[in-house]
Amino acid sequence: MDDFSTNRHAENLIKIDVTSSPPIRHPDLWFGDGNIVLVAGEIYFKVHQGLLCRHSTPLQEGINALEATEDAKLYSIEGKPVLILNDQPKDLCHFLLALYDGVSSVKHDNHDFEIVSALLRLSTKYRVQHIRNDILRGMSMVWPRNLSAWEFREADATDSTGVYKPRSVYPHPILVINLAKETGALELLPSAFYDLSRCSASEIATGYLPPGSTDRSELHTLADEDLLNTLRGREHASRFLSTFVVNELEGREASPNCVNKSDVDPFRKRICQATFEATTFEILRDVNGVVLHRSSDPLFAIMDADLMQTRADGSGAGGAGGGGRLSLLHRACEPCRMEFTTAVDAARDELWHKLPYWFGINLPSWP
Protein backbone atom coordinates (compact mmCIF):
# COMPACT_ATOMS: atom_id res chain seq x y z
CA MET A 1 0.00 0.00 0.00
CA ASP A 2 1.34 3.44 -0.92
CA ASP A 3 2.13 5.92 1.83
CA PHE A 4 1.18 9.48 0.91
CA SER A 5 1.99 11.05 4.28
CA THR A 6 4.83 13.29 3.03
CA ASN A 7 5.18 16.14 0.58
CA ARG A 8 7.56 13.92 -1.39
CA HIS A 9 4.62 11.73 -2.35
CA ALA A 10 2.48 14.77 -3.11
CA GLU A 11 5.11 16.00 -5.55
CA ASN A 12 5.13 12.59 -7.21
CA LEU A 13 1.50 13.15 -8.17
CA ILE A 14 2.50 15.97 -10.52
CA LYS A 15 3.75 14.71 -13.85
CA ILE A 16 3.52 17.45 -16.46
CA ASP A 17 4.12 16.49 -20.07
CA VAL A 18 3.27 19.40 -22.32
CA THR A 19 4.37 17.49 -25.44
CA SER A 20 1.63 14.87 -25.17
CA SER A 21 -1.63 15.15 -27.08
CA PRO A 22 -4.36 17.06 -25.22
CA PRO A 23 -6.70 14.91 -23.11
CA ILE A 24 -10.42 14.59 -23.78
CA ARG A 25 -13.02 16.07 -21.46
CA HIS A 26 -15.06 13.57 -19.46
CA PRO A 27 -18.72 13.90 -20.49
CA ASP A 28 -20.15 13.77 -16.95
CA LEU A 29 -17.50 14.78 -14.43
CA TRP A 30 -17.02 18.28 -15.81
CA PHE A 31 -18.41 21.19 -13.82
CA GLY A 32 -18.64 24.70 -15.18
CA ASP A 33 -17.64 26.11 -11.80
CA GLY A 34 -14.85 23.57 -11.31
CA ASN A 35 -11.51 25.08 -10.38
CA ILE A 36 -9.05 22.25 -10.95
CA VAL A 37 -8.50 19.69 -13.68
CA LEU A 38 -7.48 16.12 -12.95
CA VAL A 39 -5.95 14.18 -15.82
CA ALA A 40 -5.84 10.40 -15.96
CA GLY A 41 -4.60 8.85 -19.17
CA GLU A 42 -6.43 10.46 -22.10
CA ILE A 43 -9.28 11.88 -20.01
CA TYR A 44 -9.58 15.02 -17.91
CA PHE A 45 -12.07 15.87 -15.18
CA LYS A 46 -12.91 19.42 -14.19
CA VAL A 47 -13.86 19.27 -10.51
CA HIS A 48 -13.68 21.21 -7.25
CA GLN A 49 -10.53 21.72 -5.19
CA GLY A 50 -12.51 22.15 -2.00
CA LEU A 51 -14.12 18.73 -2.26
CA LEU A 52 -10.80 17.00 -2.99
CA CYS A 53 -8.96 18.81 -0.22
CA ARG A 54 -11.70 18.16 2.32
CA HIS A 55 -11.59 14.40 1.89
CA SER A 56 -8.03 13.57 0.77
CA THR A 57 -4.81 14.76 2.35
CA PRO A 58 -2.63 13.36 -0.47
CA LEU A 59 -4.69 15.18 -3.10
CA GLN A 60 -4.59 18.36 -1.00
CA GLU A 61 -0.80 18.11 -0.81
CA GLY A 62 -0.64 17.52 -4.56
CA ILE A 63 -2.78 20.60 -5.24
CA ASN A 64 -0.72 22.74 -2.86
CA ALA A 65 2.48 21.54 -4.52
CA LEU A 66 1.23 22.80 -7.88
CA GLU A 67 1.80 26.38 -6.77
CA ALA A 68 5.45 25.61 -6.12
CA THR A 69 6.01 23.87 -9.45
CA GLU A 70 7.19 26.10 -12.30
CA ASP A 71 6.15 23.62 -15.02
CA ALA A 72 2.62 23.53 -13.65
CA LYS A 73 2.26 27.28 -14.26
CA LEU A 74 2.94 26.70 -17.97
CA TYR A 75 0.27 24.04 -18.38
CA SER A 76 -3.43 24.56 -17.84
CA ILE A 77 -6.70 23.30 -19.28
CA GLU A 78 -9.61 25.69 -19.65
CA GLY A 79 -7.53 28.14 -17.64
CA LYS A 80 -7.43 25.84 -14.60
CA PRO A 81 -4.42 24.21 -12.94
CA VAL A 82 -3.82 20.60 -13.89
CA LEU A 83 -2.99 17.70 -11.59
CA ILE A 84 -1.96 14.60 -13.51
CA LEU A 85 -2.59 11.31 -11.72
CA ASN A 86 -1.22 7.89 -12.59
CA ASP A 87 -4.64 6.21 -12.30
CA GLN A 88 -6.78 4.56 -14.93
CA PRO A 89 -9.50 6.95 -16.20
CA LYS A 90 -12.29 4.50 -15.41
CA ASP A 91 -11.00 3.99 -11.86
CA LEU A 92 -10.70 7.71 -11.23
CA CYS A 93 -14.21 8.24 -12.60
CA HIS A 94 -15.64 5.74 -10.09
CA PHE A 95 -13.67 7.38 -7.30
CA LEU A 96 -14.81 10.92 -8.12
CA LEU A 97 -18.43 9.79 -8.46
CA ALA A 98 -18.17 8.25 -4.99
CA LEU A 99 -16.82 11.53 -3.60
CA TYR A 100 -19.72 13.48 -5.10
CA ASP A 101 -22.58 10.98 -4.85
CA GLY A 102 -21.58 8.41 -2.24
CA VAL A 103 -21.53 4.64 -2.65
CA SER A 104 -25.10 3.65 -1.76
CA SER A 105 -25.77 2.44 -5.31
CA VAL A 106 -22.73 0.14 -5.42
CA LYS A 107 -23.55 -3.58 -5.31
CA HIS A 108 -21.06 -6.01 -3.85
CA ASP A 109 -21.62 -8.75 -6.42
CA ASN A 110 -19.65 -10.05 -9.36
CA HIS A 111 -21.16 -7.45 -11.72
CA ASP A 112 -19.97 -4.43 -9.71
CA PHE A 113 -16.62 -5.82 -8.62
CA GLU A 114 -14.70 -3.57 -11.02
CA ILE A 115 -16.26 -0.55 -9.29
CA VAL A 116 -15.70 -1.97 -5.81
CA SER A 117 -12.07 -2.71 -6.64
CA ALA A 118 -11.44 0.79 -7.99
CA LEU A 119 -13.04 2.44 -4.97
CA LEU A 120 -11.14 0.37 -2.44
CA ARG A 121 -7.80 0.89 -4.18
CA LEU A 122 -8.17 4.64 -4.69
CA SER A 123 -9.78 5.36 -1.32
CA THR A 124 -6.81 3.58 0.21
CA LYS A 125 -4.28 5.37 -1.99
CA TYR A 126 -5.77 8.81 -1.38
CA ARG A 127 -6.72 8.07 2.23
CA VAL A 128 -10.44 8.76 1.92
CA GLN A 129 -11.41 6.79 4.98
CA HIS A 130 -15.19 7.04 4.80
CA ILE A 131 -15.29 5.55 1.29
CA ARG A 132 -12.87 2.81 2.29
CA ASN A 133 -14.98 2.01 5.37
CA ASP A 134 -18.20 1.91 3.36
CA ILE A 135 -16.70 -0.41 0.75
CA LEU A 136 -15.20 -2.73 3.35
CA ARG A 137 -18.51 -2.82 5.20
CA GLY A 138 -20.24 -4.00 2.04
CA MET A 139 -17.52 -6.50 1.17
CA SER A 140 -17.66 -7.97 4.66
CA MET A 141 -21.21 -9.14 3.94
CA VAL A 142 -19.81 -11.40 1.22
CA TRP A 143 -16.44 -12.16 2.84
CA PRO A 144 -17.46 -12.09 6.51
CA ARG A 145 -15.64 -12.45 9.80
CA ASN A 146 -18.27 -14.60 11.51
CA LEU A 147 -19.78 -17.95 10.65
CA SER A 148 -23.42 -16.84 10.91
CA ALA A 149 -22.85 -14.21 8.19
CA TRP A 150 -21.16 -16.88 6.07
CA GLU A 151 -24.33 -18.98 6.25
CA PHE A 152 -26.43 -16.09 4.90
CA ARG A 153 -23.87 -15.59 2.17
CA GLU A 154 -24.02 -19.25 1.17
CA ALA A 155 -27.82 -19.26 1.18
CA ASP A 156 -27.87 -16.29 -1.22
CA ALA A 157 -25.69 -18.26 -3.64
CA THR A 158 -28.09 -21.24 -3.71
CA ASP A 159 -30.91 -21.10 -6.23
CA SER A 160 -34.52 -22.20 -5.76
CA THR A 161 -33.72 -25.76 -6.87
CA GLY A 162 -30.99 -26.12 -4.26
CA VAL A 163 -28.09 -25.77 -6.71
CA TYR A 164 -25.14 -23.83 -5.34
CA LYS A 165 -23.89 -21.24 -7.87
CA PRO A 166 -21.52 -18.82 -6.14
CA ARG A 167 -19.76 -17.66 -9.31
CA SER A 168 -23.02 -16.31 -10.71
CA VAL A 169 -23.40 -14.10 -7.63
CA TYR A 170 -20.00 -13.31 -6.11
CA PRO A 171 -16.65 -12.28 -7.59
CA HIS A 172 -13.99 -14.95 -7.89
CA PRO A 173 -12.00 -15.29 -4.63
CA ILE A 174 -8.66 -14.88 -6.45
CA LEU A 175 -9.75 -11.34 -7.35
CA VAL A 176 -10.69 -10.66 -3.74
CA ILE A 177 -7.49 -12.11 -2.30
CA ASN A 178 -5.30 -10.03 -4.60
CA LEU A 179 -7.32 -6.87 -3.89
CA ALA A 180 -7.28 -7.43 -0.12
CA LYS A 181 -3.51 -7.94 -0.17
CA GLU A 182 -2.99 -4.78 -2.27
CA THR A 183 -5.13 -2.58 -0.01
CA GLY A 184 -4.33 -4.07 3.38
CA ALA A 185 -7.90 -5.33 3.91
CA LEU A 186 -6.68 -8.49 5.60
CA GLU A 187 -9.96 -9.18 7.40
CA LEU A 188 -11.42 -10.31 4.04
CA LEU A 189 -8.78 -12.98 3.53
CA PRO A 190 -9.86 -15.94 5.72
CA SER A 191 -13.26 -16.38 4.07
CA ALA A 192 -11.84 -15.63 0.61
CA PHE A 193 -9.09 -18.23 1.02
CA TYR A 194 -11.61 -20.76 2.32
CA ASP A 195 -13.90 -20.09 -0.64
CA LEU A 196 -11.00 -20.62 -3.04
CA SER A 197 -9.83 -23.77 -1.25
CA ARG A 198 -13.11 -25.46 -2.21
CA CYS A 199 -11.98 -25.43 -5.85
CA SER A 200 -9.82 -28.19 -7.23
CA ALA A 201 -6.06 -27.84 -6.85
CA SER A 202 -5.67 -27.49 -10.62
CA GLU A 203 -8.23 -24.66 -10.77
CA ILE A 204 -6.49 -22.85 -7.92
CA ALA A 205 -3.09 -23.13 -9.58
CA THR A 206 -4.33 -22.22 -13.08
CA GLY A 207 -5.95 -18.97 -11.97
CA TYR A 208 -9.08 -17.14 -13.04
CA LEU A 209 -9.89 -15.97 -16.57
CA PRO A 210 -13.08 -13.88 -16.83
CA PRO A 211 -15.92 -15.66 -18.69
CA GLY A 212 -15.80 -15.13 -22.43
CA SER A 213 -12.22 -13.91 -22.39
CA THR A 214 -9.48 -15.64 -24.36
CA ASP A 215 -6.83 -13.02 -23.66
CA ARG A 216 -4.24 -14.57 -21.35
CA SER A 217 -3.25 -11.08 -20.22
CA GLU A 218 -6.55 -11.01 -18.33
CA LEU A 219 -5.69 -14.16 -16.37
CA HIS A 220 -5.65 -13.51 -12.63
CA THR A 221 -3.35 -15.70 -10.56
CA LEU A 222 -2.17 -15.85 -6.98
CA ALA A 223 1.29 -14.91 -5.81
CA ASP A 224 3.40 -18.00 -5.13
CA GLU A 225 3.12 -17.57 -1.37
CA ASP A 226 -0.66 -17.23 -1.53
CA LEU A 227 -0.92 -20.27 -3.79
CA LEU A 228 1.03 -22.38 -1.32
CA ASN A 229 -1.03 -21.07 1.59
CA THR A 230 -4.25 -21.93 -0.25
CA LEU A 231 -3.14 -25.49 -0.93
CA ARG A 232 -1.91 -25.94 2.65
CA GLY A 233 -5.18 -24.61 4.01
CA ARG A 234 -7.08 -26.95 1.69
CA GLU A 235 -5.17 -29.89 3.16
CA HIS A 236 -5.88 -28.71 6.71
CA ALA A 237 -9.61 -28.44 5.95
CA SER A 238 -9.69 -31.91 4.40
CA ARG A 239 -7.96 -33.44 7.41
CA PHE A 240 -10.36 -31.63 9.72
CA LEU A 241 -13.35 -33.22 7.96
CA SER A 242 -11.74 -36.66 8.12
CA THR A 243 -11.10 -36.21 11.84
CA PHE A 244 -14.71 -35.15 12.39
CA VAL A 245 -16.01 -38.25 10.62
CA VAL A 246 -13.76 -40.52 12.70
CA ASN A 247 -14.43 -38.83 16.04
CA GLU A 248 -18.11 -37.94 15.73
CA LEU A 249 -19.67 -40.39 13.27
CA GLU A 250 -17.82 -43.67 12.89
CA GLY A 251 -18.99 -46.03 15.62
CA ARG A 252 -20.94 -43.26 17.35
CA GLU A 253 -22.78 -44.61 20.38
CA ALA A 254 -26.36 -43.78 21.19
CA SER A 255 -27.02 -41.08 23.75
CA PRO A 256 -27.52 -42.18 27.38
CA ASN A 257 -30.99 -40.68 26.94
CA CYS A 258 -31.69 -42.53 23.68
CA VAL A 259 -35.37 -43.47 23.47
CA ASN A 260 -34.67 -46.48 21.21
CA LYS A 261 -31.93 -48.38 23.01
CA SER A 262 -34.37 -50.20 25.31
CA ASP A 263 -36.71 -51.20 22.47
CA VAL A 264 -37.32 -54.95 22.19
CA ASP A 265 -37.23 -54.79 18.41
CA PRO A 266 -33.55 -55.36 17.42
CA PHE A 267 -33.89 -53.04 14.42
CA ARG A 268 -35.42 -50.22 16.45
CA LYS A 269 -32.92 -50.79 19.24
CA ARG A 270 -29.97 -49.70 17.14
CA ILE A 271 -31.70 -47.34 14.72
CA CYS A 272 -29.70 -44.37 16.03
CA GLN A 273 -26.32 -46.06 15.51
CA ALA A 274 -27.48 -47.17 12.05
CA THR A 275 -28.43 -43.57 11.27
CA PHE A 276 -24.93 -42.32 12.03
CA GLU A 277 -23.42 -45.16 10.00
CA ALA A 278 -25.59 -44.18 7.04
CA THR A 279 -24.60 -40.54 7.54
CA THR A 280 -20.94 -41.52 7.45
CA PHE A 281 -21.50 -43.32 4.16
CA GLU A 282 -23.27 -40.32 2.63
CA ILE A 283 -20.48 -37.91 3.60
CA LEU A 284 -17.80 -40.20 2.19
CA ARG A 285 -19.85 -40.78 -0.96
CA ASP A 286 -20.02 -37.03 -1.56
CA VAL A 287 -16.41 -36.24 -0.66
CA ASN A 288 -15.74 -35.23 -4.29
CA GLY A 289 -19.02 -33.37 -4.75
CA VAL A 290 -20.62 -36.17 -6.75
CA VAL A 291 -24.04 -35.82 -5.11
CA LEU A 292 -24.38 -32.17 -4.15
CA HIS A 293 -21.61 -30.61 -6.26
CA ARG A 294 -19.96 -29.07 -3.18
CA SER A 295 -16.44 -30.37 -3.58
CA SER A 296 -13.99 -29.94 -0.69
CA ASP A 297 -16.33 -27.97 1.55
CA PRO A 298 -15.98 -29.24 5.14
CA LEU A 299 -18.20 -26.52 6.61
CA PHE A 300 -21.03 -27.63 4.37
CA ALA A 301 -20.37 -31.37 4.74
CA ILE A 302 -20.42 -31.19 8.54
CA MET A 303 -23.63 -29.16 8.54
CA ASP A 304 -25.23 -31.50 6.01
CA ALA A 305 -24.45 -34.49 8.23
CA ASP A 306 -26.88 -32.95 10.70
CA LEU A 307 -29.43 -31.57 8.25
CA MET A 308 -29.86 -34.81 6.32
CA GLN A 309 -31.40 -36.31 9.46
CA THR A 310 -34.00 -33.59 9.83
CA ARG A 311 -35.17 -32.88 6.28
CA ALA A 312 -38.66 -34.22 5.71
CA ASP A 313 -37.65 -35.63 2.31
CA GLY A 314 -34.34 -37.01 3.52
CA SER A 315 -32.50 -34.81 1.06
CA GLY A 316 -29.99 -33.11 3.32
CA ALA A 317 -28.91 -29.53 2.63
CA GLY A 318 -28.59 -29.93 -1.10
CA GLY A 319 -32.20 -29.78 -2.17
CA ALA A 320 -33.23 -32.70 -4.36
CA GLY A 321 -34.05 -35.84 -2.45
CA GLY A 322 -33.40 -39.48 -3.25
CA GLY A 323 -30.18 -40.52 -4.85
CA GLY A 324 -29.10 -42.38 -1.72
CA ARG A 325 -29.57 -39.61 0.89
CA LEU A 326 -30.96 -40.77 4.23
CA SER A 327 -34.40 -42.37 4.06
CA LEU A 328 -37.11 -41.67 6.60
CA LEU A 329 -36.23 -44.98 8.28
CA HIS A 330 -32.78 -43.65 9.15
CA ARG A 331 -33.62 -41.01 11.71
CA ALA A 332 -31.97 -40.74 15.12
CA CYS A 333 -34.16 -40.07 18.11
CA GLU A 334 -34.31 -36.51 19.41
CA PRO A 335 -31.79 -36.96 22.29
CA CYS A 336 -29.25 -38.60 19.96
CA ARG A 337 -29.79 -36.01 17.27
CA MET A 338 -29.46 -33.11 19.69
CA GLU A 339 -26.16 -34.46 21.01
CA PHE A 340 -24.90 -34.78 17.45
CA THR A 341 -26.09 -31.26 16.60
CA THR A 342 -24.06 -29.93 19.52
CA ALA A 343 -20.98 -31.73 18.17
CA VAL A 344 -21.63 -30.35 14.67
CA ASP A 345 -21.94 -26.76 15.90
CA ALA A 346 -18.77 -27.05 17.97
CA ALA A 347 -16.81 -28.53 15.06
CA ARG A 348 -17.91 -25.84 12.61
CA ASP A 349 -17.05 -23.09 15.09
CA GLU A 350 -13.62 -24.66 15.62
CA LEU A 351 -13.03 -24.88 11.88
CA TRP A 352 -13.98 -21.23 11.37
CA HIS A 353 -11.62 -20.12 14.15
CA LYS A 354 -8.74 -22.02 12.53
CA LEU A 355 -9.01 -20.39 9.09
CA PRO A 356 -6.38 -17.65 9.59
CA TYR A 357 -3.87 -20.17 10.93
CA TRP A 358 -4.52 -22.67 8.14
CA PHE A 359 -4.10 -20.09 5.38
CA GLY A 360 -1.12 -18.25 6.88
CA ILE A 361 -2.98 -15.01 7.65
CA ASN A 362 -1.76 -12.83 10.52
CA LEU A 363 -4.74 -11.00 12.05
CA PRO A 364 -4.90 -9.20 15.42
CA SER A 365 -8.20 -10.93 16.16
CA TRP A 366 -10.51 -13.51 14.60
CA PRO A 367 -13.38 -13.74 14.26
- Per residue in 267-277, pLDDT (tens digit) is 888 899 999 99
pLDDT-derived band of residue 264, with 50, 70 and 90 as boundaries? confident
* Alpha carbons 114 and 329: distance in angstroms, whole number: 51
Bridge-based pairing of strands 36-40 and 43-47 is: antiparallel
Please check the confidence at residue 17 and state whether its pLDDT lies above 70.
no
What mean pLDDT comes out for the span 319-330? 50
Beta bridge partners of 25: 44
Does residue 246 surpass a pLDDT of 80? yes
Residue 261 pLDDT more than 90?
A: no
Q: What is the mean pLDDT of residues 152-159?
A: 93
pLDDT digits (tens, 9 = 90+) for 225-243: 999 999 999 999 999 999 9
Strand partners, 36: 47
Torsion of CA 300, 303, 306, 310, to 10 degrees: -80
Residue-level pLDDT at 68: 77
Q: Alpha carbon of 174 to those of 194, 231, 249: distances in Å? A: 11, 13, 34
- The helix-helix angle for 113-125 and 129-142 (nearest 10°) equals 140
Give the pLDDT score at 321: 42
* pLDDT in the model for residue 212: 82
pLDDT of 9 strictly over 90: no
Average pLDDT, stretch 355-367? 97
Q: Give the confidence band of 7 by pLDDT, cuts at 50, 70, 90.
A: very low
Per DSSP (E only), the strands in 274-342 are: none
Q: What percent of the chain has pLDDT over 90?
A: 69
* pLDDT per residue as tens digits for the range 190-213: 999 999 999 999 999 999 999 888
Beta pairing, strands 80-85 & 36-40: parallel
Q: Which residues, other chains included, contact 54 with Cβ-Cβ below 8 Å and sequence gap of 6+?
A: none
Model pLDDT, residue 217: 86
Mean predicted confidence (pLDDT) in 180-199: 97
Residue positions counted in the chain: 367
pLDDT digits (tens, 9 = 90+) for 66-96: 877 766 666 889 999 999 999 999 999 999 9
